Amino acid sequence: MMGIFMAGKTKEADVIKKLEELGQKMLSQIDAESSPTFTTALRSKGNIIYDEGVGYIRLGGKTEERKFVNVGQARKFMQTVAIAAKCKKFLKEGAHTSIRGLFYQLKFSLGDNLDEELFSEQSESNPLVEDLEVALGVKREDLNLNTDRKGVVAGPLVLKDKFGGGEDIIDCTKQGRSGWMIPSDVDNGMEFLEVGADYVLVVEKDAMWQRLNEDKFWKKENCILITPKGQASRGCRRLIRKLASRKLPVYVFTDCDAWGWYIYWAIKTGSMNLAYLGSDIATPEARFVGVTMSDIKDYDFLGQLTINAKEVDIKRAEEMLSYDWIQHHKDWVEELKTVLKTKKKLEQDALQGPRLSFVGDYLREKIAKKKFLA
């Protein structure tokens, strides 16, 4: 699958051209007295594949064609065309908005001819915008639509943010206790000036990131310290992907529980709802540094700091063990079986038990000895 993220400079012109071509194709269809059509990749479950060969979740080859002259599709078709027109306008104005902002622009133009629920910020899938992303081979970020942003960075990474015609230099070694907040779009109008790190460490929890930042772990270890603050946003996954493409190893540090496992696998292989972004947001090279139940063998005290696994952890462990592909990850199988057997789990915070700075020693040792789950 080809990457659909585009280089900064000529992006607007390229995307506008693609939007215009979409319109021109429809106009020719009308001229030829046939119904305008719109072709997009099928994004339903039957066309989502975990491709073991490449190591990430992607769409298969199935497509679907929407017809304007179809009672069930006419309204959505019109809405899609209206979205395309709005996005072209945003690109020409050089202004960004959110899905919700797009919704109100459309509501202003179309009135009640609008499926409000398709534009909910809460809804993870905004199907009409996704249609357009997939059909055009661009991302919504390229259509000047911002996504929810989350996550923070510290370490040897210097960026030039050319947002809004400006030129702000962001040095991620000089952001104090706060760190640099990962934006929605880390491609357009953004230049990586210096990436001087030896590796990338992704830490599930913001509280743990703050702990490591206070100890200047990123300085001592010359790494880029990222927290997605839980599940990684699109922007955060894309940033990790971009750093991995510069040959930086990526290590992920989460709780040993359902949520932590999900965060790791989503960074590594992508996720079902973003299958259409495939290789652009997945980092199959990522390795899992901890915490693991098998850590208890090496760090005795962790045995007394386990807590009871919840139902969701047990269910998730069972589910993961039922996948075929997990059998190629023997360490993971053992790990999940230990959770099921002991009905216990471990949080990354437990590494602060003996002393606050212990977590840094743990990470140093595991990374030096390459004690990873793949």
Residues in contact with a copy of itself by CB under 8 A are 90, 93, 95-98, 100-101, 103-105, 107-108, 111, 116, 121, 146, 148-149, 152, 159, 161, 163-164, 166, 168-170, 174-185, 206-207, 210-211, 213-216, 301, 304-305, 307, 347, 349-354, 356-357
- Cβ proximity to a copy of itself: between 183 and 249 the closer is 183
- Cβ proximity to a copy of itself: between 167 and 334 the closer is 167
> Tokens representing 112?
């009640």
Q: How far is CA 319 from the centre of its chain?
A: 22
Cβ 350 to a copy of itself shortest distance, Å: 5
Distances (CA, A) of 32 to 10, 18, 223: 33, 21, 59
Cβ 91 to a copy of itself shortest distance, Å: 12
Distances (CA, A) of 207 to 61, 203, 217, 218, 367: 42, 9, 14, 15, 21
Strand partners, 139: none
Find all residues with CB under 8 Å of 12, minimum gap 6, and list them: 91, 92, 94
> Tokens representing 350?
């437990």
Instruction: Specify whether 262 is catalytic.
Output: no
Cβ 299 to a copy of itself shortest distance, Å: 12
Q: Is the peptide bond before 152 cis (omega within 30 degrees of 0)?
A: no
Cβ 137 to a copy of itself shortest distance, Å: 24
| Beta-carbon count within 10 A of 55 CB | 17
- Cβ proximity to a copy of itself: between 69 and 356 the closer is 356
Among the listed residues 56, 104, 262, 276, the single catalytic one is 104
Q: Are 362 and 349 in contact (CB under 8 A)?
A: no
Find all residues with CB under 8 Å of 176, minimum gap 6, and list them: none
- Cβ proximity to a copy of itself: between 58 and 237 the closer is 237
Cβ 83 to a copy of itself shortest distance, Å: 15
Q: For the CA atoms of 89, 280, 4, 164, what is the dihedral angle to 10 degrees? A: 30
Which ranges constitute the DSSP H helices of 158-229?
Answer: 206-214, 217-220
Which ranges constitute the DSSP H helices of 221-279?
Answer: 234-245, 258-269
> Tokens representing 288?
């899992």
Cβ 253 to a copy of itself shortest distance, Å: 15
> Tokens representing 127?
């199907």
> Tokens representing 149?
């942003």
Locate tokens 């493409």: which residue?
245
Cβ 146 to a copy of itself shortest distance, Å: 6
Phi then psi for residue 276, to 5 deg, are -70, -15
**Positions marked active-site:** 104
